[in-house]
Amino acid sequence: MSGDKRVILSGMRPTGRLHLGHLEGALKNYLQMQAEGADCYFMVADIHALSTEYKNPAAISENSRELLLDWLAVGLDPDRATLFVQSEVAEHSELFVILGMLTPLAWTERCPTYKEQQQELADRDLATYGFLGYPVLQAADILLYRATQVPVGQDQLPHVEMTREIARRFNHLYGETLPEPQSVLTASPKVPGLDGRKMSKSYGNAVYLSDGKDALEKKIKQMYTDPQKVHAHTPGKPDQCVVLALYKIYASGQAEAVEKECRGGQRGCMTCKRALLPIVDAILAPIRDQREAWAGQPGRLEQIIQAGNKRAQARARETMQAVHAAMGWEALAPEGRRP
């Protein structure tokens, strides 16, 4: 690796296939950091998934495989980045417990995502001890790798902030041990879902990275446009139009002309949508092909994860040694703690 000193840790919960919002909101940054030669750790956050899916844990493994396939399909490269599974590196649970001891209850209770998620996932009982600790587990994930940068979507900023607070508290109590990480947002604008709300699996408004061309065509037909624009010659007001938003993201050179023609009554929504299909499909087609190629090699997938878990574990163990040493909390038997 180059002289790049940055250590990157990020993760995603395996709760289903990834969509364009993930690609623009986080994965683009993963790819850039990987390309720049930073020391990258990308984690399948399956314990975090358990915090909301604890009634159906069997689905987590299958979803973890799907997540890994999506990652490889977009170009995360096991030769340049460490891809691993959270639950398979036991140190996450260990550091989570330690950090839980020193994290004030009020920090977790006032975390904005705590109440938001409980409301959003009202069909599940999330009044649990583990769910309250969600950001503490995330802090453990990040601090375990002594990450300097955490590429995340906007919604995760409070968790990275709490991670910084927890690191500061640990360092204050036991001495400078854990670096405070920075969050890194992508430059790209938010991708709206088909209905104009934030793109999200739970809203049923997502374009998945694995969608075929036919599925994509159907979804583009459903996209929210200016509801007043009934004819091509009706002057449009496309400020909320999802189709225009996608032109702006994926065909920025054309977006201005599209908007002008729309406002001037020189363009109809049908034509506009038809022309968007090849533009978005050009993004998805190579991802779809790669996904298929990787899906045909389950043995290789297993090897990748095994190697990734091992590399992650080596770094995690170094950190745990530093953590125990800082705390002055030594094992009584030489084999008492893993080497």
- Footprint of ligand SF4 (CB under 6 A): 225-226, 229, 236, 238, 241, 243-244, 258, 262, 267, 269, 272-273
Cα gap 171→189, rounded to integer Å: 36
User: Which option in ligand SF4, ligand TRP, none does residue 229 bind, with CB closer than 5 to 8 A by kind?
Assistant: ligand SF4
Q: Decide whether 92 or 288 has the Cβ nearer to ligand TRP.
A: 92
Does 141 contact ligand TRP by CB under 6 A?
yes
Closest CA to 274 of 238, 207, 211, 223: 223
d(C-alpha 337, C-alpha 266), whole Å: 72
Indicate whether 70 belongs to the interface with ligand TRP (CB under 6 A). Answer: no
Contact (Cβ atoms closer than 8 angstroms) between residue 25 and residue 188: yes
Q: At what angle do helices 46-53 and 134-144 cross, to 10 degrees?
A: 170
User: DSSP assignment of 157-209, as one string?
Assistant: HHHHHHHHHHHHHHHHHH-S-SPPPEEE--SSPPPB-TTSSB--GGGT---BT
Task: Report, in Å, the least distance between residue 92 CB and ligand SF4.
Answer: 45
User: Binding string, 27-46, against ligand TRP, x = CB under 6 A?
Assistant: ------------------x-
Under the binding rule (CB under 6 A), the answer on residue 10 touching ligand TRP is yes
The minimum distance between CB 151 and ligand TRP, in angstroms, equals 8
Which partner from the list ligand TRP, ligand SF4, none does 9 bind, CB cut-off 5 to 8 Å by kind?
ligand TRP
| 241 token code pair | 């139009």
Instruction: Give 84 or 247: the residue with its C-beta nearer to ligand TRP.
Output: 84
- The residue from 82, 156, 205, 309 that contacts ligand TRP (CB under 6 A) is 156
Residues 6+ apart with CB under 8 A from 168: 180
- For residue 164, count other CB atoms closer than 10 A to its CB: 19
Q: What is the greatest pairwise CA distance in the chain?
A: 82
Closest CA to 310 of 98, 91, 150, 141: 91
Assess 150 for contact with ligand TRP (CB under 6 A). yes
Nearest approach, Cβ of 268 to ligand SF4 (angstroms)? 6
The item of ligand TRP, ligand SF4, none sharing an interface with residue 31, based on CB under 5 to 8 Å by kind, is none
Q: Which residues bind ligand TRP (CB under 6 A)?
A: 9-13, 45, 48, 138, 141-142, 150, 152, 156, 159
